[in-house]
Chain A
Amino acid sequence: KAGVTQTPRYLIKTRGQQVTLSCSPISGHRSVSWYQQTPGQGLQFLFEYFSETQRNKGNFPGRFSGRQFSNSRSEMNVSTLELGDSALYLCASSLAQVAYNEQFFGPGTRLTVL
């Protein structure tokens, strides 16, 4: 069974640009969550999608947005990039939006903003 895949794995952008990251969950998983990992702030929850609807959102500015497609694949978008957006962005999928379901993480997309 294939794991969670994220593309691209590495990305370099400049301030002011926008970026789109993609996540393909494990087959059959309907919930996708996104996390940002930085040395200073650690791992922080961005948002969760379930059945194409955003179900939960962390404390991030509106420049961070996402969506989920009917095949459960998800994208997140960051507009007007800032230096502080440099981070590893992790996607996690789970079977359903049930608290006991295990979340499986992808390898992440490392975004560098210059």
Chain B
Amino acid sequence: GNSVTQMEGPVTLSEEAFLTINCTYTATGYPSLFWYVQYPGEGLQLLLKATKADDKGSNKGFEATYRKETTSFHLEKGSVQVSDSAVYFCALRSTGANNLFFGTGTRLTVIP
């Protein structure tokens, strides 16, 4: 079946620190992989995506590489800001389906 395992939070970092949030997946076929971000009181926003192996998704300084050999899609950012404080969700969408399978979410707090 399809599932996403995401690093447990919460994660607290100082401003300008390096961020890694681990995500691994189990899927049939060749899924597309996503990172979504949820700010307080809001819905989900797509942060980045990758649709095939070795693709790198990037946006707003965040990056994640689709690693088929390790079934991973870890999120990284070189220098976090206070405004990056949010909950981050890793998700997959399997081949031929439109629904998303989400990880449990990782709450990130960045302190000045």
Q: Which residues from chain A sit less than 8 Å from chain B, CB to CB?
A: 4, 31, 33, 35, 42-45, 48, 50, 55-56, 58, 90, 92, 94, 97-108
Interface size counted on chain B using CB atoms at 8 A: 25
Given contacts A43-B89, A43-B102, contact A100 B45 (CB under 8 A): no
**Residues in B lying within 8 Å of A, measured CB to CB:** 32, 36, 41-46, 49, 51, 89, 91, 93-105
What separation, in Å, do the CA atoms of A108 and B18 have in the docked complex? 31
**Further contacts, 15 of them, CB under 8 A, given A92-B44, A94-B98, A106-B43:** A33-B98, A33-B99, A42-B102, A43-B105, A44-B102, A48-B98, A50-B98, A90-B43, A99-B32, A99-B93, A99-B97, A100-B51, A103-B98, A103-B100, A105-B36
Closest chain B CB from A98 CB (angstroms): 7
Cross-chain contact B99 with A48 (CB below 8 angstroms): yes
Known interface pairs A56-B97, A100-B51, A102-B49. Does A107 touch B102 (Cβ–Cβ under 8 Å)? Answer: no
Chain B interface mostly: loop
- Cβ contacts under 8 Å, B43 to chain A: 4, 90, 105-108
Assess whether A45 is in contact with B96, with CB atoms less than 8 Å apart. no
CB of A87, distance to nearest CB on chain B (Å): 13
Task: Give every chain B residue within 8 A of A45 (Cβ-Cβ).
Answer: 99-101
Q: What are 10 A-B residue pairs whose CB atoms fall within 8 Å in the complex?
A: A43-B89, A43-B91, A45-B101, A55-B98, A94-B98, A99-B98, A100-B32, A103-B100, A105-B44, A108-B42
In contact, A42 and B98 (Cβ under 8 angstroms): no
What's the least CB distance linking A109 to chain B, in Å? 10
